[in-house]
Amino acid sequence: MVGDIKDHHYTYSGDYWLPPAASTGADGPDMLFRAVLGLSAFFFFGVTGAIIYLVVKYRHRPGHKAEPSPAHNDALEITWTVIPTIICVILFVYGWRSYLSNVTIPEPRAENVVYVEAQKWSWNFRYYNGLEDNALHAPVNQPMKLVMTSKDVLHSFFVPVFRVKQDVVPRRYSYAWFYPTKPGIYRIYCTEYCGTDHSQMKTKIVVHETGDYERYLSEAYAKKRQLSGAPLGANVFTKKGCVGCHSIDGTPKIGPTWKGSYGADVSLEGGGTVKVDEAYIRSSILNPQGQLHKGYPPSMPLTPLSDKEIEGVIAYIQSLK
C-alpha cells in the first residue's frame, strides 16, 4: 500500500540538469535536451573562445595597428548561415516528433481516466469509482489519462519527473496523459500564475505497484463511505480544497479560520451581523457569495457537497473550539 512506496519528494537525484525521469514521456525530451545542451556548449565555447583569443591577440598596445582584412566573405557567410539552418531543421523535426508522441493520447481503460478539477489553490481528482481525492493516484506501467478543467482562473498541471505540463482552463476540458515507469511519490505543481497561493498549489502523485491502484481506490472509497460527522468534515476539509483558504488553527488565510468560528458573531460585507450557526455554514457552502464575511475577498468557489458532507463540515467546525 501507500506506506511502502518510496517518497521521492526530497530524493532528487537525476542528473545535474534534469530531475529523475519516471515516465516514458521523458525519453524524447531528455535525449533532445542533452543534444541541445551539447550543441550549445559547442557553440558557446566556440564563440567565447574566439572572442577571448581575438581580443588577446589583437588588443591595442604600443606599435600594434589594425591590419586590413576583407570586410565580407560571401562563402564564409553563406556557410555560417547554412550550417545553423540545417541544425535547426533537424532539431525542429525531432522536437516535433517527440512532442507528437507525447501528446497523442492512447485510449486507456476506463479505470485509468481521472477527472481533474483545479481551483484556487487546490487540486481535486475524481476516480472511476466515485472517490475524490486531493492527491493523484496512478498504476505503474499503464497509460493514465487526465481530463482537466478549472473552476476559476487558469492553472497548469505540471509533473517534473514525467515531463508533463498542460494548462487547465475554466469552462473547457484539456487533456494530459502519462505512462509511469517507477512506483513512488512525486510532486505536482501549478505552473500558471493564479494569485495569492500559487506557490502553495501543489500536491503529490502516488504511482502504485501493479494491482495496488485499484485496491487503494476501493479501500479509500469504502473508508470514506463509513465516515460521518466530524471525521467526514475533516476529510472534506483536506480533500475538497477548503484547506487552500481556511485554517483550523486560528491563522487567517484568504478566508476566515474555522477555529472557534461556530457560535461567533461576524459582521457582513455591506452591513449587519450574523451568528455562525448551522444555517449560516450551509448557506455559505451552497451560495458562497451570499453573506460575505467582512474583510475577506469574495473568492470562494462553489464546491458541490452532498448533504451528508455538509453535515460533516458543520460537525467538524463545531468541534474546532
Task: Report how far residue 120's alpha carbon sits from residue 201's, in angstroms, rounded to the nearest whole number.
Answer: 8
Cβ atoms < 10 Å from Cβ of 170? 13
Q: State in angstroms the smallest separation of the CB of 259 from another protein.
A: 20
Which CB atom, from 253 or from 259, has the smaller least distance to another protein?
253
Fill in the amino acid letter for 59: R
Count CB-CB contacts under 10 A for residue 273: 10
Give the β-pairing of 113-119 and 144-150.
parallel
d(CA 237, CA 279): 18
* Nearest residue to 231 via CA among 319, 129, 321, 126: 319
Q: Hey, what's the cell of 212?
A: 495496488
With respect to another protein, which residue has the nearer C-beta, 162 or 280? 162
Residue 42 or 306 having the CB closest to another protein: 42
Closer Cβ to another protein, 116 or 276, answer by number: 116
Q: Are residues 262 and 320 in contact, defined by beta-carbon separation less than 8 angstroms? A: yes
Q: How far is the CB of 104 from another protein (least distance, A)?
A: 8
By beta-carbon proximity to another protein, the closer residue of 168 and 234 is 168
Q: Which residues pair with 188 in a beta bridge?
A: 203
List b or e across 13-50, with b for residues whose CB sees 16 or more CB atoms inside 10 angstroms.
eeeeebbbbbbbbbebbbebeeeeeeeeeeeeeeeeee
Smallest gap from residue 151 Cβ to another protein (A): 11
Closest by Cα among 299, 206, 314 to 244? 299
Q: How many CB atoms lie within 10 A of CB 247?
A: 17
Nearest CB to another protein, comparing residues 161 and 242? 161
- Cβ 224 to another protein shortest distance, Å: 29
Q: Under a CB-based contact definition with an 8 Å cutoff, are residues 136 and 197 in contact? A: no
Q: Select 128 or 296, whichever has its Cβ closest to another protein.
A: 296
Query: From CA 312, how far away is CA 13, in angstroms rounded?
Result: 42
User: Of 127 and 178, which CB lies nearer to another protein in the complex structure?
Assistant: 178
DSSP at 293: B
**Minimum distance from residue 115 beta carbon to another protein (Å):** 17
Smallest gap from Cβ 272 to another protein, in A, equals 22
Nine cell digits for residue 219: 479501500
Nearest distance from residue 307's CB to another protein, in Å?
27
Least separation in angstroms between CB 210 and another protein: 27
